[in-house]
């Protein structure tokens, strides 16, 4: 059934450049048809960016495509091979329940991967059923679109369709397929797979050249383009992880196969946003040792990038010792780059547009108070933005009074004045994030009752996180405290 090609009425315009790479990097894998697909979530914004007709996607033929029952004209479905360090342990992996249909070329000439998650078994399924449950697919839809609205590079979600078929996990759950849109699915793990014997040295170089041409064409003219590739990947990851930290986002599973070389956030399984500020916060049920805790994310990113650099050693220099020196020099720069991005944007969260030597100590003093008083991360910066200091648990303490006096003196030295500082804070501190209890509320209504209105309302609010509008107020409240910590699970 999936071999049937469709007309291009929806605006599909596929190329298949990844499928022209060495065959060791992928396996042909058609989606497995499903019984009775129904569209339950779709992004008109994403469709428009891709050059697709959203109404055509809502048609029966459009839904059949999103379910994997039909193939758009020009699609060449494959499952990509990759490896990864999962909680520090290396293993070969691959798309076990995801099928890359191809790359959509937009009217503006941009290229985006179109991938169906939960589309059935592939040669990399490792005994799994290749399917996905509705809840995790809706979760990825919500989180990825919220991340985009927050200004964080991320994969996007075009649509979710239910399959009309259950999947068996701990219990029987409704099945679904998510259409994920990405700048590419090239990962650190893709290069690890190639370097670990999945391909020849020539094929490794072909993969590196492809990555450069697709994401970093500016380094083609450099004397050592592969060093330029490493530098660009490090730069993008430093920017990305800083943005995660600034909004309290915790990925949950920062394995090397979940680090996209494009600099996008990818794979939203056990991720969540921090309420109470604590660098040791962990949500993932499988992260027993706290390897991927909020405060560890920058160090883990550096570790992952070191694994990427190792794969490039044969390309960096003919002499291995020289190659190692080049790689180490760049990896050491990650911490400096990350810290620079983080510090600059933390200044903005406090309304500071210029730099002074004492700024970091001012920021760290605030964070320490927030940790000690169990302050809500997002709402504390929101309270500072609008002068509602009584809304923070730090208010009324001598420590906070002293800090506030220093902060106000620092604001008084801003060259652009108070109005600019206030606007800087409004645009740097979101009013709303995907609060865990709100996400769970939306998923519960959708999965157990077939009620998608709760999710649709949540998505509307999350679409403008810096609006600070009155209708967002109810979504700024923190969840009621419980004796059990919030836990997330791998499912996407």
Tell me the pLDDT tens digit for each residue of 425-454.
999 999 999 999 999 999 999 999 999 999
pLDDT, position 492:
46
pLDDT, position 248:
97
Burial class (CB in 10 A: 0-12, 13-18, 19+), 448: exposed
What is d(CA 338, CA 332) in angstroms, rounded to the nearest whole number?
A: 11
What is d(CA 356, CA 414) in angstroms, rounded to the nearest whole number?
A: 11
Q: Is the pLDDT of residue 189 over 50?
A: yes
Could you say which DSSP state residue 376 is in? B
- When pLDDT is cut at 50, 70 and 90, the band that residue 490 belongs to is low
pLDDT, position 286:
75
Q: Could you tell me whether strands 14-15 and 38-42 are parallel, antiparallel, or unpaired per DSSP bridges?
A: unpaired
Query: In the numeric block, which tokens belong to residue 127?
Result: 């005994």
Q: What is the dihedral of CA 12, 13, 19, 21, to 10 degrees?
A: -150
* Average pLDDT over the chain, rounded to an integer: 94
pLDDT, position 309:
98
Tell me the pLDDT tens digit for each residue of 264-276.
999 998 899 999 9
Coil, strand, or helix at residue 485? coil
Mean pLDDT to the nearest integer, 390-416: 95
pLDDT, position 485:
65
Tell me the pLDDT tens digit for each residue of 197-247.
867 789 999 999 999 999 999 999 999 999 999 999 999 999 999 999 999
From the candidates 95, 257, 267, 376, give the one annotated as an active-site residue.
Answer: 257
What is d(CA 261, CA 212) in angstroms, rounded to the nearest whole number?
A: 10
- When pLDDT is cut at 50, 70 and 90, the band that residue 329 belongs to is very high
What is d(CA 66, CA 56) in angstroms, rounded to the nearest whole number?
A: 11
pLDDT, position 92:
87
Note whether 268 and 492 are within 8 A (CB).
yes
What is d(CA 461, CA 434) in angstroms, rounded to the nearest whole number?
A: 9
pLDDT above 90 covers a percentage of the chain that reads 88
Q: Is the pLDDT of residue 156 over 50?
A: yes
* Cα distance between the two ends of the chain: 25
Query: In the numeric block, which tokens belong to residue 128?
Result: 């799994």
Q: Is the pLDDT of residue 67 over 50?
A: yes
* Whether 257 is catalytic: yes
- When pLDDT is cut at 50, 70 and 90, the band that residue 185 belongs to is very high
What is d(CA 339, CA 358) in angstroms, rounded to the nearest whole number?
A: 15
The candidate with the shortest Cα–Cα distance to 106, out of 159, 181, 157, 56, is 181
pLDDT above 70 covers a percentage of the chain that reads 95
Could you tell me which residues are beta bridge partners of residue 276? 376
Mean pLDDT to the nearest integer, 69-88: 93
Domain residues of the chain, as ranges? 8-185, 189-347, 353-428
What is d(CA 393, CA 6) in angstroms, rounded to the nearest whole number?
A: 59
Helices within 216-255 (DSSP H only): 225-247
What is d(CA 313, CA 324) in angstroms, rounded to the nearest whole number?
A: 7
What is d(CA 429, CA 425) in angstroms, rounded to the nearest whole number?
A: 6
pLDDT, position 491:
57
Q: Is the pLDDT of residue 153 over 70?
A: yes
Helices within 413-467 (DSSP H only): 418-428, 436-449, 453-462
Coil, strand, or helix at residue 170? coil
Mean pLDDT to the nearest integer, 124-146: 94
* Kind plus residue range of the DSSP H or E element containing 417: none
Largest CA distance in the chain: 71
**Number of other residues whose CB lies within 10 A of the CB of residue 441:** 15
Helices within 94-224 (DSSP H only): 134-149, 188-193, 201-215
Contacts of 232 (CB under 8 A, 6+ apart): 215, 216, 218, 219
Looking at 283-292, 328-337, 344-353, 480-489, which range is the least confident one? 480-489
Buried-exposed string 385-424: b where 16+ CB fall within 10 A, e elsewhere: beeeeebbbbeeeeebeebeeebeebbeebeeeeeebeeb
Mean pLDDT to the nearest integer, 130-141: 96
Helices within 388-435 (DSSP H only): 398-412, 418-428
pLDDT, position 319:
96
Q: Is the pLDDT of residue 162 over 70?
A: yes
Note whether 204 and 314 are within 8 A (CB).
yes
pLDDT, position 1:
46
Coil, strand, or helix at residue 291? coil
């Amino acid at each position: 059934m999936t071999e049937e090609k469709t007309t291009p009425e929806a605006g599909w315009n596929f190329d298949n450049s990844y499928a022209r790479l060495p065959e060791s990097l992928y396996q042909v894998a058609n989606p497995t048809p499903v019984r009775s697909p129904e569209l339950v979530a779709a992004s008109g914004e994403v469709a428009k960016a891709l050059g697709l007709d959203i109404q055509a996607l809502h048609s029966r033929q459009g839904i059949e495509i999103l379910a994997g029952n039909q193939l758009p004209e020009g699609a060449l479905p494959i499952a990509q091979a990759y490896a990864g360090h999962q909680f520090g342990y290396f293993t070969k992996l691959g798309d076990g329940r995801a099928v890359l249909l191809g790359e959509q070329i937009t009217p503006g000439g941009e290229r985006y991967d179109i991938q169906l998650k939960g589309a059935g078994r592939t040669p990399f399924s490792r005994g799994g059923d290749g399917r996905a449950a509705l809840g995790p697919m809706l979760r990825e839809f919500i989180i990825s679109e919220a991340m985009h609205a927050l200004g964080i590079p991320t994969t996007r979600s075009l649509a979710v369709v239910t399959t009309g078929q259950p999947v068996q996990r701990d219990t029987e759950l409704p099945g679904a397929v998510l259409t994920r849109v990405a700048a590419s699915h090239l990962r650190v793990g893709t290069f690890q797979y190639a370097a670990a014997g999945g391909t020849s040295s020539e094929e490794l170089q072909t993969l590196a050249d492809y990555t450069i041409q697709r994401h970093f064409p500016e380094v083609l003219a450099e004397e050592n383009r592969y060093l330029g590739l490493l530098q660009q990947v490090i730069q993008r990851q430093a920017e990305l992880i800083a943005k995660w930290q600034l909004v309290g986002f915790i990925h949950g599973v920062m394995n090397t196969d979940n680090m996209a070389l494009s600099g996008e956030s990818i794979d939203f399984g056990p991720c969540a946003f921090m309420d109470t500020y604590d660098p040791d916060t962990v949500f993932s049920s499988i992260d027993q040792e706290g390897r991927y805790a909020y405060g560890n994310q920058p160090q883990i990113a550096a570790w992952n990038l070191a694994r990427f650099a190792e794969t490039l050693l044969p390309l960096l220099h003919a002499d291995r010792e020289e190659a190692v020196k080049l790689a180490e020099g760049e990896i050491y720069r990650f911490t400096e780059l990350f810290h620079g991005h983080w510090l600059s944007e933390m200044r903005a969260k406090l309304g500071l547009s210029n730099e002074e030597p004492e700024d970091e100590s001012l920021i760290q003093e605030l964070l320490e108070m927030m940790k000690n008083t169990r302050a809500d991360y997002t709402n504390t910066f929101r309270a500072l933005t609008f002068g509602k200091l009584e809304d923070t648990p730090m208010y009324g303490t001598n420590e906070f009074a002293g800090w506030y006096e220093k902060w106000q003196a620092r604001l008084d030295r801003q060259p652009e004045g108070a109005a600019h500082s206030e606007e800087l804070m409004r645009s740097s501190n979101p009013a709303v994030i995907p609060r865990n209890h709100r996400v769970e509320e939306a998923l519960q209504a959708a999965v157990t009752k077939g009620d998608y209105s709760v999710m649709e309302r949540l998505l509307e609010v999350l679409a403008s996180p810096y609006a600070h509008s009155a209708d967002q107020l109810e979504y700024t409240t923190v969840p009621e405290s419980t004796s059990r910590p919030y836990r997330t699970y791998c499912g996407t």
